[in-house]
Amino acid sequence: MRKCFNCSKELLPETKHIELNDEVYCIDCVEVKPFTEYQFYVSGEWRGDTYDGDNKVVEDYEDEYEVGDDV
């Protein structure tokens, strides 16, 4: 019997569920949040995406650049 790894509720065939690290969960036990990735184009040319951890959008409040750092 296929059961939710968290609450042990049976997951019958044709039941929406979550597969997570080789374990199955009912949708009541898992909070699903959207995770947005971005792709970046410069002059129409693809230059990277946020799947690569080095690429990101730095929000203004995250920007720690100080004038004079790049002497």
Q: Is 17 exposed, middle or buried (0-12, 13-18, 19+ CB in 10 A)?
A: middle
C-alpha radius of gyration, the chain, whole number: 21
Q: Is 11 in the site for Zn ion (CB under 5 A)?
A: no
CB of 24 to Zn ion, least distance (A): 9
CB of 35 to Zn ion, least distance (A): 21
CA distance 68 to 54: 24
Site size for Zn ion (CB under 5 A): 6
Token pair 């949040």 in the structure block, residue: 33
Contact pattern from residue 20 through residue 39 relative to Zn ion, giving x for each residue in contact according to CB under 5 A and a dash for the rest: ------x--x----------
Binding residues (CB under 5 A) for Zn ion: these are: 4, 6-7, 9, 26, 29
